[in-house]
Amino acid sequence: MIIKIIKIICVNLNNLRYVSAKMFAIVALAFVSCAEINTPDGDASIFDLSTPELTAFDQWLRENFVDTYNINVIYKYSDYDTHLHYNVVPADVEQSKKMAFLVKYLWLDAYTEAADNGIHFLRANAPRVLQFTGSGEWSSSGTMSAGSAEGIYKITINDVNSLDQTNIAAQLYYFETMHHEFGHFLHFAKDYPPEFSAISRTDYLIEYHTRDSEEAAQTGFVSAYAGLNSDEDFVETLAAYIVYDDEWWDKKLQEAQAKGSEIILRKVDLIRRYMLNAWGIDLDLLRTIVQRRIEEAPNLDINDILGF
């Protein structure tokens, strides 16, 4: 409507009796000259309608994430897409290639293998957006976020630039984060049983970081962060069971001692039943698949597999 009014004004500039003071005010606010106006029936558009050129990596992401799982991967830095209360750096392109491949290999493809009609399951329940940042998100309390989930829409994976594919055993927190955040998507869609929340109801702590690993384990949590609330407890326990091997679990249960280990194992059993009843997924089968893929991943030539 404003464009139409400005056009009328431009046509009538030689006859000021047709131009009201209100129209002149609109022109002043628009900060545009008659020669610069692009109208709907003109040759130019105020929007960039060109199609961005896709790199080989972009094309691979389109075929393997968008077309297969309905997930858009954002690896190029954008203020709009990052959390503005943290200072983060862009993800390196080569590191993003490795992370995208490993996300698919250790998370999406693992669920596809474990679940009946796994691709449909992921299309229905996976995030619509996966975001990479180059650095971690550090809080004033000294904790670093390796990733986060935003509702049932988006998962962010941080610190991509530090990924070392050859030493995945020492960097399992990346992949624990993937399964952790996806666990939120699952319980948002179908809530876990109330018995899980009741187990440690009186032991959750807002200042979770004040507990060390040993105290958290002996209280019945697989990590200090699991002691924040029942939602984080659920997804931390789920992800830890999937990602960490028997040696890690033996040490964790020894650290937890009798009382803590009994609580942790009771939580694992409830998660096992939840995954089967709610989603038809055998948790132990999923764990076996992920463990196998973790062992295979360091020896994979990602650039050769991707072909670019």
Tell me whether strands 129-132 and 137-138 are parallel, antiparallel or unpaired. unpaired
Q: Which CATH class is domain 56-306?
A: alpha beta
Distance CA 19, CA 169 (A): 74
Among 33-42, 94-103, 118-127, 155-164, the minimum mean pLDDT is found in 33-42
Q: 115-124 burial string, b = 16+ CB within 10 Å, else e? A: beebbebbee
pTM check: above 0.85: no
The reported pLDDT for the residue numbered 288 is 98
Among 135-144, 181-190, 261-270, the minimum mean pLDDT is found in 135-144
- What is the chain's mean pLDDT, rounded? 85
- Give the confidence band of 12 by pLDDT, cuts at 50, 70, 90: very low
- Could you read off the pLDDT of 60-113 as tens digits, one per residue? 999 999 999 999 999 987 665 666 666 778 899 999 999 999 999 999 999 999
Among 4-18, 43-57, 65-79, the minimum mean pLDDT is found in 4-18
Among 61-75, 151-165, 288-302, the minimum mean pLDDT is found in 151-165
Q: Could you tell me how far CA 13 lies from the centroid of its own chain?
A: 55
Residue ranges per structural domain of the chain = 2-36, 56-306
The reported pLDDT for the residue numbered 56 is 95
- Give the confidence band of 22 by pLDDT, cuts at 50, 70, 90: very low
Q: For the purposes of burial, counting CB atoms within 10 Å of the CB of 68, is it exposed (0-12), middle (13-18) or buried (19 or more)?
A: middle
Distance CA 244, CA 234 (A): 16
- Could you read off the pLDDT of 202-247 as tens digits, one per residue? 999 999 999 999 999 999 999 999 999 999 999 999 999 999 999 9
